A = this chain, B = another copy of it.
Amino acid sequence: MEDQLSDRGKRILEAVIEDYIQTAEPVGSRTITRSHALALSPATVRNVMSDLEEMGLLTSPHTSAGRIPTDKAYRLYVNSILEARQNLTAGKRDEIRRRCRMAGKDPAEVLKEASRLLSSTSSYMGVVIAPRMAANLFHQMEFVKLSSHRILAILVSQNGTVQNRLLEIDEEIAQEDLVRMANYLNGMLQGLTIGQVRERLLAELQSEKVQYDSLMKKAIALSEQTIRTDSAEIFLEGQANILDQPEFADAAKMREIFRAFEKKSTLLDLLDRSMQAEGVQIFIGTESPLLKMEGMSLVTSTYLTGKDTVGVLGVIGPTRMGYGRVIPIVDYTAKLISRMLEGE
């Protein structure tokens, strides 16, 4: 009928969504009049709900059940929340802060704790993706000789992230040479990001002057090996939490979900795209076509650990998720993590 949502319609839709979020049961006209103190009779509500259904905002699983919000309705609802963002209670805030502090200073530790924290405060799944190594600032490289044919290469970036790799070599290299190699490289690579370092090394490997100096050639080849892989680290915590959600009570659904999250790559793809935009983003149900995440939603935010090093963290839960509660949690956590890791 009327394509525009009336104020009353909006209020009732909200009521349906909130009830449904709480109970996970289709909600009927009766329930709404009782719990939400609208001065309306069930019959009126029914009429409005019928309109809402017409507009594609509600569906009913069957004739004689209550109604359920569609993804479209959630989208509307979430947008209105995003506008009128409420703040976290001081208590929650403190708890988050406290637990972040606890984690210590090591970036990996902090991120892991953040993921745990997201999971436990939201009671859904917490997920954190570490920034790509490539964007980190190079700080130093070391070669440690373990035995005649094994070298451990250690790559340290400015923010304290460490990447190490065991290399096999054909020809023994003296420890002094290793030190010299490292010094040479450290001089050359100062101030670059890891990504740039990689390019530089590849370029250098081609260049003529290096061809003549076999030690330097080796050095560059070794460091190139070290730096080659850039597997994004991903922390997924609280998987068991979603087992408590009634919509996944049946075994088949559960299995599907767990299988999906076992391959971290799918998750990575999904979160990678929210790295573009800044701030809180929300993907509802099938809005993210990557995963056939029937009935799952994703609340993410980007965080920064340096000028250009951006990571993503967030909460994965059922579409029927307490957005009003989760959004500020994600938002605040992202900001806190940024502050913790960036400021130093």
Contact = CB atoms under 8 A, between A and B. Distances in A.
A344 B262 CA distance: 33
A168 B344 CA distance: 11
A147 B255 contact: no
Nearest to A157: B146
A160 B166 contact: yes
A210 interface: no
A150 interface: yes
A187 B251 CA distance: 59
A140 B144 CA distance: 8
B240 A244 contact: no
Contacts of A258: 239-240, 243
A225 to B, nearest CB: 11
A165 interface: yes
A151 B116 CA distance: 26
Contact of A255 (B150, B240, B344): B240
Interface in A206-256: 238-240, 243-244, 249-251, 254-255
Given A104-B166, A162-B154, A244 B255 contact: yes
A156 interface: yes
Interface residues of A, number: 37
Contacts of A168: 105
Contacts of A239: 239, 258, 262
Contacts of A152: 156, 160, 162
Contacts of A243: 251, 254-255, 258
A232 to B, nearest CB: 16
Nearest to A149: B344
A92 to B, nearest CB: 22
Contacts of A139: 144, 146
Interface string A132-146: 000000011010101
Contacts of A159: 146
A250 B240 CA distance: 15
Contact of A240 (B160, B240, B249, B262): B262
A147 B344 contact: yes
A94 interface: no
A156 B144 contact: yes
Nearest to A244: B255
Contact of A162 (B107, B164, B255): B164
Given A139-B146, A152-B156, A239-B262, 15 more contacts: A105-B150, A105-B167, A105-B168, A106-B166, A107-B166, A139-B144, A142-B144, A142-B154, A146-B156, A146-B158, A150-B344, A154-B162, A243-B254, A251-B251, A254-B254
14 contacts: A105-B168, A106-B165, A106-B166, A107-B166, A142-B144, A142-B154, A146-B158, A146-B160, A150-B160, A154-B154, A238-B262, A240-B262, A249-B251, A251-B251
Interface of A: 104-107, 139-140, 142, 144, 146-147, 150, 152, 154, 156, 158-160, 162, 164-168, 238-240, 243-244, 249-251, 254-255, 258-259, 262, 344
The 6 closest A-B CB pairs, nearest first, are: A240-B258, A105-B166, A243-B255, A160-B166, A162-B164, A106-B166
